[in-house]
Amino acid sequence: MKIKAVIFDMDGVIVNNHQYHFKAWMEFASRYNFELDEEIYRDKFNGKTNKDLFQMIFDDPTEEEIATYSDEKETLYRDLYYDDLTPHTGVLDFLTALQKRGYKIGLGTSAPTENVDFVLDNLQLRSFFDVIVDGSEVENGKPDPEIYLTVCDRLEVEPKYAVVFEDSIAGLESAIAAECTAVGVATSHEPFELEGKTQFIIHDFSEVRGLWMRLER
């Protein structure tokens, strides 16, 4: 396979922030009295857009209510994570190497624009990405392939020539449905939970060199 583009999810991939989102959701669940634990979060929440999640949690919320709920939850998350915000292990070196070698680089995340700005600007990573697509720009959230098809279209690369790094099962399903090569990053799921979803799994980007040799054969 000739790799032309590399696409990253953000949460759980660019940053290992699973526990901060989980803590924010637990606080939000306590405020609004709905059932949530780590298993429910991992199986039903991870990788989804806020719009999809609030439509699942609440009875027919309006667009205005969804926006209000989203602002509340994401403010909780950013406040919790601000002091600990850091790139995932090895990702900065990997992005630097990809850019030097001329690969097109994209970001495809279910996160709202405010969270993308929070991560990329505070960590000074924005300049690495040729294309950024967030949850506000798609009609259909993951596992629908729309977000990765959109990133590939804007990068002007056929999906079969793109590699996607994803931590969530919904995200891996999205990438595979788009006909990209999907790599699982075992942050929000244990490696055994990702087995069968993709043949490529890493814990972090310190492990990417051996994987890249396999992908470029």
pTM: predicted TM-score of the whole model, two decimal places: 0.91
Collapsing DSSP to helix, strand or coil, 167 comes out as: coil
Residue ranges of the chain that CATH labels 1.10.150: 18-83
- Between CA 209 and CA 150, with CA 216 as vertex, the angle to 5 degrees is 100
Distance CA 10, CA 17 (A): 9
Q: pLDDT tens, 77-130?
A: 999 999 999 999 999 999 999 999 999 999 999 999 999 999 999 999 999 999
CATH dotted code for 18-83: 1.10.150
Q: Measuring CA to CA, which residue among 84, 94, 85, 86 is closest to residue 205?
A: 94
pLDDT score recorded for residue 1: 63
Residue ranges of the chain that CATH labels 3.40.50.1000: 5-16+87-215
Please answer whether residues 168 and 10 qualify as being in contact, where contact means their C-beta atoms are separated by less than 8 angstroms: no
- One of 3.90.1200.10, 3.90.1150.10, 3.40.50.1000, 3.10.20.30 is the CATH number of 5-16+87-215, namely 3.40.50.1000
Please answer whether residues 151 and 109 qualify as being in contact, where contact means their C-beta atoms are separated by less than 8 angstroms: no
9 is catalytic: yes
- Residue carrying structure tokens 């000739």: 2
Please answer whether residues 164 and 148 qualify as being in contact, where contact means their C-beta atoms are separated by less than 8 angstroms: yes
Q: Which residue numbers in the chain have pLDDT < 50?
A: none
Say which of 9, 11, 134, 167 is annotated catalytic.
Answer: 9
